[in-house]
Amino acid sequence: MKRHGTGGGTWSTRAKFLTAFLTRPGTVGAITPSSRFLAKEMIRGVDLGPGARIAEYGPGTGAFTRAILDSIDPNATFFAVERDERLAAELRARYPGLHLHVASVEAIESLCKEEGVEQLDTIISGLPWASFPSALQRRILDATVRVLKPGGRLITFGYYVGLLTPAGRRFAALLPEYFSRVERAGPVWRNAPPAFVLRCTR
């Protein structure tokens, strides 16, 4: 896979992210982009070597995308799925060679087929799970476990404040139904707001 420039968290990027949050809060779940410290924790321990098959859900402004592209082997498969067209345009400008699909992650099975991938090793998710209704949470998780290989992992994150919301608690309770092991890492204090990482093994 071709390497790309790292881009950056410019004021312009932050302003666009804030605008997306204010106008589409069910799609963008935070006021500011994730920090590089959270991105580092998200990809810690992920196989980014030759032959690895990785997808990213909801890359937003590309904080996790940048961390992945900085470390991934050229012979790995990596693509991203972003539903928000304006954020997708920003990503394409920053990472011209990125395999980016403007679609819902509910279509991950068909997107894997387009990429020539039968199963994924890892899914890195930036989705605002705590903003989603129960039915959507389940539809995405159903599709996710169908494309993950046995032992494959969904790696996602949440905000501690999100655990106080009904949707956040509901999502946390759903995960053991879909995954054999769910591990929490954190807190990542150097993120606004403070976050934790969930590593969910199929």
CATH of the domain at 117: 3.40.50.150
Asked if residue 6 belongs to a domain, the reply is no
Give the global pTM.
Answer: 0.84
- Is a pLDDT exceeding 80 seen at residue 53? yes
Q: Taking a C-beta distance cutoff of 8 angstroms, is the pair 36, 64 a contact?
A: no
The amino acid at residue 40 is K
Q: Domain containing 71: what range?
A: 11-201
Cross-strand pairs, 183:
199
The domain total for the chain is 1
Asked if residue 133 belongs to a domain, the reply is yes
Asked if residue 3 belongs to a domain, the reply is no
Asked if residue 97 belongs to a domain, the reply is yes
For residue range 10-40, what is the model confidence (pLDDT) as tens digits?
A: 444 444 444 444 344 444 445 567 899 999 9
- Residue 110 has which token pair? 């068909």
Asked if residue 123 belongs to a domain, the reply is yes
User: Residues 35-57: what's their mean pLDDT?
Assistant: 96
Asked if residue 34 belongs to a domain, the reply is yes
Asked if residue 69 belongs to a domain, the reply is yes
Question: Considering the chain, what is the average pLDDT of its residues?
Answer: 87
- Residue 176 has which token pair? 């053991």
User: Residues 102-112: what's their mean pLDDT?
Assistant: 98
Q: Report the candidate in 198, 146, 160, 157 with the shortest Cα–Cα distance to residue 176.
A: 198
Cis ω on the peptide bond leading into residue 187 (within 30° of 0)?
A: yes
Asked if residue 4 belongs to a domain, the reply is no
